[in-house]
Structure 1
Amino acid sequence: MQYLKEENMKELQFSIEIKAAKEKVWATLWEDTSFRDWANIIDEGTYMKGAMEEGKEIQFLSSVNGYGVTSLVEKLDPNAFILFRHSADTQASGQQEREKEWTGGTESYTLTEKDGVTTLLVKTEVPSEMEEVFTVRLPKVLERIKTLAVKHEESE
């Protein structure tokens, strides 16, 4: 399958240092309960549907409005890196031709750990008209991930 990236995409990049092992940060990112917690900042009621496996598709959907995106897990190195390629706008009832603003964009999460501190780097391509929204929300998302991961680290 060939993906064509929309012309109006902007790459955004954010990072945060978290005093927790990268395994704890990874779990915070992708375990269902914590994912729903931090993803709610981006789009209310967001959840994942599908397998988090390289080469498989996963859907990110909103339980509030039923919309989301279907993404290919293009590259996966557990506890270190994941790259999603957004392949189709989606509605809870199935893929559909809504706006194609996310089609072809990528989103990656990179974790590196040194001396018990994990740096989380998030790179995402967003439609130009959403740049301001994500520039405001993604730093809040990273702060929430940090809070959840530190709690996860301390509870062990």
Structure 2
Amino acid sequence: MTTLEFKIEVNAPKEKVWGVLWNEETYQQWTSVFGEGTYAVSDWKEGSKIHFLSPNGEGMNSIIYKKIDNEYLAFKHLSEIKNFKEMPVDDANQEWAGAMETYRLTENKGQTVLEAKMDSVEKYIDYFRATFPKALDLVKKLSEKK
């Protein structure tokens, strides 16, 4: 597994960027670059389960590993989801088990630096390198709206 790192500067306070990242409506907007209609199901509390899903029920079963409001959110991916059902961790889908995805916000003079890191299996590295910056650009645009 390879850890990919992405960074973008946003001309907005970190509280606003945090809201854009994790509020249901704006989350669905910026994650649409990964797949139209992508959404998350969770209570958004540290230690809780979270399902990242496409409209057809494909996605990832994860937990919220660490959460510091307006600063840091880490997801630990456990297994894939197919047809809205968590798949057992077996040879077919264990390659994602334990993968981490993190988001860190730091503020400096009204600017927020958003750093995202994610573990990826080899076959998706090029896809994420091309797609993740587009998602962060959308976060930036949504956060900088007045």
- TM-score where L is the length of structure 1: 0.88
| Unmatched segments (≥5 aa) in structure 2 | none
Q: Pick from 71, 76, 85: which aligns with 2:76?
A: 85
Give the distance between the partners of 1:149 and 1:91, measured in 2 at CA.
32
Give the distance between the partners of 1:85 and 1:57, measured in 2 at CA.
10
Does 2:72 match 1:54?
A: no
| Residue 94 of structure 1, CA deviation | 1.8
Does 2:40 match 1:40?
A: no
Does 2:103 match 1:109?
A: yes
Give the distance between the partners of 1:82 and 1:93, measured in 2 at CA.
24
| Unmatched segments (≥5 aa) in structure 1 | 1-8
Equivalent in the alignment of 1:6: none
- TM-score where L is the length of structure 2: 0.93
Give 2:123's aligned amino acid: E
- Cα contact 1:61–1:91 (8 A) shared by 2: no
Give the distance between the partners of 1:101 and 1:89, measured in 2 at CA.
10
Equivalent in the alignment of 1:143: 137
Q: Share of identical aligned residues, percent? A: 36
| Residue 92 of structure 1, CA deviation | 4.6
Give the distance between the partners of 1:40 and 1:102, measured in 2 at CA.
21
Give the distance between the partners of 2:128 and 2:84, measured in 1 at CA.
26
Give 1:134's aligned amino acid: F
| Residue 46 of structure 1, CA deviation | 0.8
Give the root-mean-square deviation of aligned CA atoms.
1.2
The alignment partner of 1:131 has SS state of helix
Equivalent in the alignment of 2:122: 128
- Cα contact 1:61–1:92 (8 A) shared by 2: no
Give 2:117's aligned amino acid: K
Give the distance between the partners of 1:84 and 1:140, measured in 2 at CA.
20
Q: Pick from 89, 95, 102: which aligns with 2:86?
A: 95
Give the distance between the partners of 1:68 and 1:100, measured in 2 at CA.
14
